[in-house]
Amino acid sequence: MPEKKGIPLLKLFPRLSVRGRLLTAARECTILSATIHQARRSVELAVAFRSPQTTDVQRALERAILSAYDLSDVLLQPAPQEEVLPEPAGDDDIPLPEAPPEEDAPPPPEDSFAPVELPEGDVFPETENMESNTALQQNKAPERPAAPTREEKLRKALAAHPAVTRAGKKARRADSAAPSGNLLYGKGIRGNVIPMSDLSLDLGTVCVSGRIFQDNSRQLKNRNAWIVSFDMTDETNSVTVSKFLEQKQAEPLMEALKKTPWVTVEGKLSLSHYSGDMELTPYAIAPAKAPKGRMDNA
């Protein structure tokens, strides 16, 4: 099977900052094709790894790219194992074809060859003149500049991405939902709040704001951890927020949520493996101001 060409992941995303196991996976990752959705601020990458990688490593690489380039969603789609880029073989590994056996040709007649004396100087002056005249007659147009490579097109598309430019960042943050206090979880709310009635799986990363009306958190004693989960609504629809956290992270968050019935949550939509319903895995949670006339603490 011929070797597939691609772009190294770290060459297309030079600002990606990873270490350890993720750095090894990033170095072994090659991008075969990319689809950029500018309206949704997301990118889908068909990739190949030189060695098999776990789903956790792939998801961690997605989050690292998302954070480094301020995108809304990143999806790595590994190629099947048989399509992984093969290691180039050395010259010594390529068998050379055997030379065909020489056949005994009958000797030519004695008078079929005659010695010819070559003139001094260039022996092809007339041929060169013919080629020069033919080129002038064809009146060839000047060569066009080479078409941009796939890597240059991807770089140009990412550079033009509104979420990556400084002006785009300021505009988005100015329109974002303003939390009423410090963050309860994560690093920051970046997206614009949308109604829960507009939620769908193809949106990827979303930002919603509403009232917590049910706590579904449960403890995993054998793992010293919690599934922090709650239902929230903005009166247009509702969504379940769920996150696996170690106990030292979960307990402060759950205590804060008891005192903060109105929250803004930014995260990724997916289907729950347990209920089959759509749920929101949070990247960040912040207190939110209740709409006027809805100051209840229930």
pLDDT tens-digit series, residues 134-145: 444 555 555 666
pTM strictly above 0.75: no
d(CA 209, CA 202): 19
- The answer for residues whose C-beta is within 8 angstroms of residue 4's C-beta and 6 or more apart is 32, 48, 83, 85
d(CA 61, CA 250): 24
Whether the Cβ atoms of residue 260 and residue 232 lie closer than 8 Å to each other: no
> Could you tell me the two tokens for 2?
């011929």
pLDDT tens-digit series, residues 258-289: 999 999 999 999 988 777 889 999 999 999 98
Least confidently predicted of 1-15, 94-108, 155-169, 229-243:
155-169
Task: Give the position of tokens 């007659």.
Answer: 137
Which is nearest to 161 in space by CA: 265, 42, 257, 81?
A: 42
